[in-house]
């Protein structure tokens, strides 16, 4: 956390400020449980800051629009000389930060900003003509070159402050209602998850199988900033040496940077617009199918398992995300933005850039997207990546007595006996309809 480190380095009293903006989260359609997850980590962070003799102020305002006024009130109440914080890169956040900086500078307060949330700041990796890459592989190759040149190890945890700030500012009383027990709270727990993942999992081999604990499951913590991408890379380098730069997992971290860089370069992506100006964008209105998809009642076991995992855990395995997104946008021809919004409404790792990038990739509307004719067969994907049906049985318990041979595509009579619905679409017909629609 560079901002914290450098603030403590001044040898002056330090106060930590966290501002909660619940209405802003609602405007962005984010999951209520994500807000509670944030609050739980703020509480944990405040407890850890106490160990460094750093008091915390927690404030609640509706939206970013009230941020300048809040800072002016704090300036009028406290003796503030400097403010340290991290860059944000999306439209609303950039505007928020500029408004706050204006208030601070008008009051003669020094502002220090640091890069923290991604491996490299957006804008670092560009083609020779200065333009943004639109294909991931050359972006990644250039990115690794730049990363190896610019990489510095993360800063250590700072020493405790010698001088303790005495503050008299009423702070929000944190009332946390986070109920998803499968997600441990706290930076120490997350560091342990990271270390265990790097020591015990063959990510390249196991990451596509949702029944295997073959992914890091760090995405919610990365989305919140509980752990940073540079911390992840530092641990990978310690474990694997320079080979880590070329590993499959670090490649996924670079995808995260790629989508953030795209949204920084093309703000329209944050405004529900397609990346491709000529992309098909007249989707079918099929509310009944959309509702069945949301509830995990499509009649396709892998699709339903994924959608129910999302509802129950605030997360979904990445392979399954691709399949359910392809199913909605290409087989049902339902607007990808509806799926994007549904994901944001439940995901703990709901990240605007990554979620948008994933949905535009799946729907053939985005940058370096899957071509329109690449349509995942949900039955074939189920048999390939959940061959024993273990993942399906966990999230679609009405099918838990079926054999691996039957579970991926039960017969009608078996479905009736299990209380499981018929497929809501005919795959072959839907696939042909999609091919004709995209080509028209």
Which of the residues are catalytic?
A: 252, 255, 283, 318, 336, 359
Q: Which helix (H) or strand (E) holds 18?
A: strand 16-20
**Spatial separation of the C-alpha atoms in residues 151 and 144, rounded to whole Å:** 10
| Contact in structure between 227 and 191 (CB atoms under 8 Å) | yes
Name the 3-class secondary structure at 373. Answer: coil
- Bridge partners of 17, per DSSP, are 57
- DSSP, residue by residue, 297-317: -SS-HHHHHHHHHHHHHS---
Most distant CA pair in the chain, distance: 75
Residues 6+ apart with CB under 8 A from 88: 94, 96, 97, 117
Dihedral pair phi/psi, residue 409, rounded to 5°: -150, 70
- 3-state SS track over 41-101: HHHHHHHHHHCCCCCEEEEECCCHHHHHHHHHHHHHHCCCCEEEEECCCCHHHHHHHHHHH
Residues 6+ apart with CB under 8 A from 24: 62, 63, 64, 92
Quick one: how many helices (H) and strands (E) in the chain? 20, 4
- Among candidate residues 79, 83, 78, the one with its CA nearest the CA of residue 103: 83
- Among candidate residues 332, 299, 260, the one with its CA nearest the CA of residue 414: 299
Dihedral pair phi/psi, residue 5, rounded to 5°: -60, -50
**Spatial separation of the C-alpha atoms in residues 363 and 273, rounded to whole Å:** 13
| Contact in structure between 362 and 372 (CB atoms under 8 Å) | no
- Bridge partners of 111, per DSSP, are 83
**Cα 139 from chain centroid (whole Å):** 20
Residues 6+ apart with CB under 8 A from 205: 214
**Spatial separation of the C-alpha atoms in residues 285 and 335, rounded to whole Å:** 8
- Bridge partners of 114, per DSSP, are 86
């Amino acid at each position: 956390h560079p901002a914290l480190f450098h603030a403590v380095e001044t040898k002056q009293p330090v106060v930590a400020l966290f501002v909660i903006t619940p209405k802003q989260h609602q405007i962005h359609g984010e999951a209520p449980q994500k807000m509670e997850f944030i609050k739980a980590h703020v509480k944990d962070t405040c407890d850890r800051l106490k160990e460094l003799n750093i008091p915390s102020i927690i404030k609640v305002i509706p939206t970013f629009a009230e941020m300048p006024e809040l800072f002016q009130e704090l300036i009028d109440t406290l003796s503030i000389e400097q403010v340290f914080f991290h860059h944000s890169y999306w439209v609303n956040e950039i505007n928020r930060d500029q408004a706050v900086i204006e208030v601070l500078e008008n009051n003669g307060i020094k502002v220090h900003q640091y890069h923290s949330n991604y491996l490299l700041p957006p804008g670092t990796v560009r083609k020779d003509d200065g333009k943004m890459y639109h294909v991931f592989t050359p972006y990644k190759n250039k990115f690794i070159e730049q990363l190896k040149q610019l990489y510095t190890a993360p800063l250590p945890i700072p020493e405790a402050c010698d001088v303790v700030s005495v503050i008299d500012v009423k702070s929000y009383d944190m009332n946390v209602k986070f109920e998803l027990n499968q997600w441990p709270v706290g930076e120490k727990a997350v560091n342990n998850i990271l270390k265990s993942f790097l020591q015990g999992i063959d990510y390249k081999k196991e990451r596509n199988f949702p029944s295997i604990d073959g992914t890091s499951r760090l995405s919610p913590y990365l989305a919140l900033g509980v752990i940073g991408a540079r911390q992840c890379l530092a641990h990978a380098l310690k474990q694997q040496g320079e080979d880590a730069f070329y590993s499959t997992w670090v490649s996924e971290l670079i995808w995260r940077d790629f989508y953030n860089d795209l949204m920084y370069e093309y703000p329209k992506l944050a405004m529900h617009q397609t990346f491709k100006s000529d992309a098909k964008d007249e989707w079918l209105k099929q509310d009944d199918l959309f509702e069945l998809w949301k509830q995990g009642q499509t009649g396709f076991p892998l699709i339903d398992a994924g959608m129910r995992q999302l509802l129950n855990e605030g997360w979904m395995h990445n392979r399954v995300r691709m399949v359910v997104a392809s199913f909605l946008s290409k087989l049902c021809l339902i607007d990808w933005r509806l799926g994007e919004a549904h994901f944001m409404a439940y995901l703990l790792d709901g990240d605007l850039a990554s979620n948008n990038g994933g949905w535009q990739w799946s729907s053939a509307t985005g940058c370096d997207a899957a071509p329109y004719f690449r349509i995942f067969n949900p039955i074939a994907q189920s048999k390939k990546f959940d061959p024993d049906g273990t993942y399906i049985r966990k999230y679609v318990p009405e099918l838990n007595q079926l054999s691996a041979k039957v579970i991926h595509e039960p017969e009608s009579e078996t479905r009736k006996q299990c209380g499981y619905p018929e497929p809501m679409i005919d795959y072959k017909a839907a696939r042909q309809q999609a091919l004709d629609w995209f080509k028209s």
